[in-house]
Amino acid sequence: MSVNYAAGLSPYADKGVCGLPEEFDSPDELKAKVEILAQLIKESQYLVVHSGAGISTSAGIPDFRGPKGVWTLEEKGESPQFETTFEDARPSLTHMALLGLQRAGYLKYLISQNVDGLHVRSGFPRDMLSELHGNMFVEECEKCGRQYVRDKVIGVMGLKPTGRLCDVVRSMSLRACREWIKVLEECSSGIAKVNRDKRADLALTLGTSMQIKPSGDLPLITKRKGGKLAIVNLQPTKHDKHSYLRIHGYVDDIMKQLVELLGLDVPKWEGPTVCERS
């Protein structure tokens, strides 16, 4: 099942600038920058990663503002091409590398704008993850707040009833836990988790141009608290001028180099795995 997620979203006029040209660092420059990033991570006491749609393109899921992004093509009157269904998509090297960073103790918290569920399906602990825009595989009880991670995409958009009942509150129906700004406004537990970002001394953004508010401004909390901001993205981002380090290249290639410099292995994906607690 491949849900047309973009078509089902509530109208949202401010999509930011789409289709900006991609930039690539030279191999030598890329290597030098990744070495700097590795050193920053080694020195960090509290690393928070902010992930965007760019980390899932290698998994066959289009981003929003890239050359073949959902909104870039929408402006041209075209439709995006999905190379896979959401159910069949496999976590990318970046998803698994982030799991490796978490298991090694480097990564303290992960904040994602993605709804594709790949962080959860990679086995990343849900208690160390905030999915700001929801998760296409998660539904929750609107009364007790219990969440259920499903094997299939939830067939409705937004915070709407799914037709199933909560196992605890049998009289209360479950709702889909995903929609852009509404999840930020209505899922208070997610907002509370984001406050962990205030402890971060290093914010690393991966595959996001940070154009959507308020999620795109969250990495700046670290900067304002005296920490550093490192950006990995192919296109210019909204907060380039605030960054300590900017790396332009394919995120999978960068993360592969990074984990090698840190002496880590990328965990092997063994199939969809849900880990509730670290």
Region of residue 53 (left: phi > 0; alpha: psi -120 to 50; beta: else): alpha
Sheet holding 129-131, edge to edge: 129-131, 107-112, 47-51, 202-206, 228-232, 245-247
Residue 89: both structure tokens together: 């998509």
Per the rule left: phi > 0, alpha: psi between -120 and 50, beta: everything else, 2 is beta
Answer for the pair 177, 133: CB distance below 8 angstroms, yes or no: no
Q: How many Cβ atoms sit within 10 Å of the Cβ of residue 165? A: 14
Residue numbers annotated as active site: 133
> Would you call 140 helix, strand, or coil by DSSP?
strand
**By the 8 A CB rule, do 132 and 187 touch?**
no
Asked if 118 and 95 touch (Cβ cutoff 8 Å), the reply is yes
**Contact 58/90 with Cβ under 8 angstroms?**
no
| Sequence-separated (6 or more) residues with CB below 8 Å from residue 228 | 40, 201, 202, 203, 222, 244, 245
Amino acid (one-letter) located at 30: L
Name the one residue in this structure whose structure tokens are 């996001």. Answer: 208
